[in-house]
């Protein structure tokens, strides 16, 4: 099966360059140096509006399911948004400097953030308050939870520190030659790391060893995104060279270089990337299949009912002389009712 990439919905969204992008099953949101967050409804393929709460570049955006969005910016604020009405539920003064990155725990109860004040902060999202502050030796610019929520990683320049949730202590460190620009968890224990060179590296969080590395672009990689579809792991890369590439990763043969599924030259200087999966249409497809099979079962059922009804009518025809007038009166409306139900079905 060959993959192709075609522009589907292009929009000049901001007056300055884009700094972050996030997706959930319906919306795409973009943050920019123009201090605004733009919302797009992907089902209708329209611009949905803008959020104006921050003073400064919007540095990070992350959805929690279909209900909430968290945004962080250079003004040191983290804003919690309700995605039904798009109202700001809470604005938290999170860091003394800029908020550089944030990540929501899979449970939705906690969030972590790092900023230019050399701190890592834990947030209780249920009560909307600070739960814990850890001082770092240097400013971290990326923080990310693992999909199972058992560990999290921080990135300081070219160094990845891996923490365990239960002990909040570093269990391992990964160091690369160049500055790290983006990282993603492919699984709970495999990290895909991209930096200021053309190479993607896959690391084991348990052993901190490099499992695989391959040249993905001709220029530095700005952002990577990973997703799984029907058991297939796909890595999407965006580079300053303007190319978006999609790679098929076989976890059983992880030492092999991932195969290139497709590429497209956007002729733009890319800064960030996210993948919106049309889960609704997939679900519709599955529900359509389910509906077809249930309809077939219903048809089968109604034909059995019709057969039974015929038998039942024949039987009553034979026993007709035994039925009293009162019973006849009661039985006739019932039959009409059943007939009506059948036609409705």
Over range 152-166, report the average pLDDT: 94
233-276: pLDDT as tens digits: 999 999 999 999 999 999 888 888 899 999 999 999 999 999 99
Domain membership flag for residue 53: yes
266-313: pLDDT as tens digits: 999 999 999 998 865 555 545 554 555 555 544 544 443 333 333 333
Over range 44-72, report the average pLDDT: 94
Is residue 103 predicted with pLDDT exceeding 80?
Answer: yes
Is residue 84 predicted with pLDDT exceeding 80?
Answer: yes
Over range 309-331, report the average pLDDT: 37
Over range 59-72, report the average pLDDT: 95
Domain membership flag for residue 41: yes
Over range 84-98, report the average pLDDT: 94
- Give how far the C-alpha of residue 120 lies from the chain's centroid of Cα atoms, to the nearest Å: 24
Cβ proximity of 244 and 266 under 8 Å: yes
Place of tokens 């993607």: 200
Domain membership flag for residue 123: yes
Q: What is the CATH number of the domain that holds 187?
A: 2.130.10.10
Domain membership flag for residue 244: no
Q: Write down the pLDDT at residue 168.
A: 84
**Mean per-residue pLDDT over the chain, rounded:** 83
d(CA 267, CA 280): 31
Is residue 14 predicted with pLDDT exceeding 90?
Answer: yes
Over range 72-82, report the average pLDDT: 95
Q: Which residue has the higher pLDDT, 202 or 336?
A: 202
For the chain, the domain total comes to 1
Calculate helix-pair angle for 325-344, 279-318, nearest 10 degrees: 160
Domain membership flag for residue 281: no
Domain membership flag for residue 177: yes
Is residue 329 predicted with pLDDT exceeding 70?
Answer: no
Strand order across the beta sheet in which 210-215 lies:
180-185, 190-195, 199-204, 210-215
Domain that holds residue 28: 18-217
Domain membership flag for residue 136: yes
Q: How many residues does the chain have?
A: 345
Q: Write down the pLDDT at residue 339.
A: 45
Domain membership flag for residue 70: yes
């Amino acid at each position: 099966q060959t993959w192709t990439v075609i522009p589907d919905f292009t929009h000049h969204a901001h007056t300055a360059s884009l700094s972050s992008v996030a997706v959930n099953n319906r919306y795409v949101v973009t943050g920019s140096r123009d201090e605004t967050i733009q919302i797009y409804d992907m089902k209708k393929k329209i611009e949905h509006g803008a959020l104006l709460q921050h003073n400064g570049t919007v540095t990070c955006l992350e959805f929690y399911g279909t209900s909430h969005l968290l945004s962080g910016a250079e003004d040191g604020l983290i804003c919690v948004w309700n995605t039904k009405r798009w109202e700001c539920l809470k604005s938290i003064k999170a860091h003394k400097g800029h908020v550089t990155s944030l990540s929501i725990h899979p449970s939705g109860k906690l969030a972590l953030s790092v900023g230019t004040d050399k701190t890592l902060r834990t947030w209780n999202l249920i009560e909307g308050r600070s739960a814990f502050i850890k001082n770092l030796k240097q400013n971290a610019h990326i923080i990310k939870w693992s999909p199972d929520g058992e560990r999290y990683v921080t990135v300081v320049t070219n160094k990845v520190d891996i923490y365990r949730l239960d002990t909040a202590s570093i269990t391992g460190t990964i160091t690369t030659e160049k500055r790290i620009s983006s990282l993603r968890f492919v699984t709970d224990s495999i990290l895909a790391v991209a930096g200021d060179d053309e190479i993607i590296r896959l690391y084991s969080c348990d052993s901190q060893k490099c499992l695989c590395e391959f040249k993905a672009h001709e220029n530095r990689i700005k952002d990577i995104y990973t997703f799984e579809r029907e058991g297939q792991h796909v890595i999407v890369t965006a580079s300053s060279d303007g190319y978006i590439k999609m790679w098929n990763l076989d976890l059983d043969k992880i030492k092999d270089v991932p195969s290139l599924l497709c590429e497209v030259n956007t002729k733009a200087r890319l800064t960030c990337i996210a993948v919106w999966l049309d889960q609704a249409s997939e679900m519709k497809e599955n529900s359509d299949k389910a509906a077809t099979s249930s309809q077939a079962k219903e048809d089968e059922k109604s034909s059995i009912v019709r057969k039974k009804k015929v038998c039942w009518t024949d039987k009553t025809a034979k026993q007709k002389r035994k039925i009293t007038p009162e019973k006849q009166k009661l039985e006739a409306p019932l039959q009409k009712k059943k007939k009506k139900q059948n036609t409705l079905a």
